[in-house]
Amino acid sequence: MEFCVRGNWAISKLFHGDSVNLQTVSKNRIFLLNVWSTFCPPCLKELPILEKINAKYKPNQKFTFMTLALNSETELIQFTESTDTTNPYNKVFRYSGLRRLDLPVIPSLTHGYIINQNGDGTFSAMLGNNKEVGILNKMFEMEGIPVTLLYNSNGKIVYRTNGSITDDRVITNKIDSLLATN
């Protein structure tokens, strides 16, 4: 996947949506980016909070929010649409507490995960192609996920959180402050 190479944003396809030029949609706007995965429990637990943030700021023309899922599009379809209660993607979707996924999501992996069912009925997931994740780790200087980056309208990172967002107040205060000065 081509996403960002040395600051040059590429055109990416949104999950269940059109292609989007991230440079265009983030230019001169406050830009919030969250990197997550369906097999990351802290990521899943923050999804309802991210949905709340998205709903609050979606109408604001000075703000753009995108999420980057470390999953393939096929995995995201299973995550959001599977009704099979034995499907591991259905299980993690139910764990997230979401009824549906309304976030703008860019699937970032072409190969996705290798799913193994353990003897006790649980599942484990391993990345099928670590090269893609390595590229994203370098681009966003990630040591793990979830990671959330808030950029000001000049494209500078002004807030970063490594780990799950457990309360929306810190980030919404920062967004509100940026919007007030923009």
Residue 84: give its domain's CATH number.
3.40.30.10
Q: Is the peptide bond before 146 cis (omega within 30 degrees of 0)?
A: yes
> Does residue 147 fall inside a structural domain?
yes
- Burial call 136-160: b when 16+ CB within 10 Å, e when fewer: bbeebebeebbbbbbbbbeeeeebe
Q: Is residue 155 part of a domain?
A: yes
Helices H / strands E in the chain, number of each: 6, 11
Assigned domain for 151 exists: yes
In angstroms, rounded to a whole number, what is the distance separating the alpha carbons of residues 27 and 133? 25
Q: Dihedral (C-alpha) 176, 4, 112, 48: value to the nearest 10 degrees?
A: 0
Residue 15, in any domain of the structure: no
Residue 119 lies in domain: 28-168
Tell me how many domains the chain contains. 1
DSSP state of 180: H
Per-residue confidence in pLDDT tens, the chain, 182 aa: 333 433 444 546 666 666 666 676 777 889 999 988 888 888 999 999 999 999 999 999 999 998 888 888 888 888 888 888 888 888 888 888 888 888 888 877 665 555 555 566 555 554 555 665 666 666 667 677 888 999 999 888 899 998 899 999 999 999 999 999 97
Which stretches within the chain are classed as H helix?
A: 22-26, 41-57, 73-81, 88-96, 130-140, 169-181
**In this structure, is residue 138 part of a structural domain?**
yes
Q: Is residue 89 part of a domain?
A: yes
pTM of the model: 0.80
Nearest to 105 by CA among 182, 37, 156: 37
- Does any domain span residue 7? no
Residue 66 neighbours by CB distance under 10 Å: 20
Tally Cβ neighbours within 10 Å of residue 29.
21
Within a domain: residue 116? yes
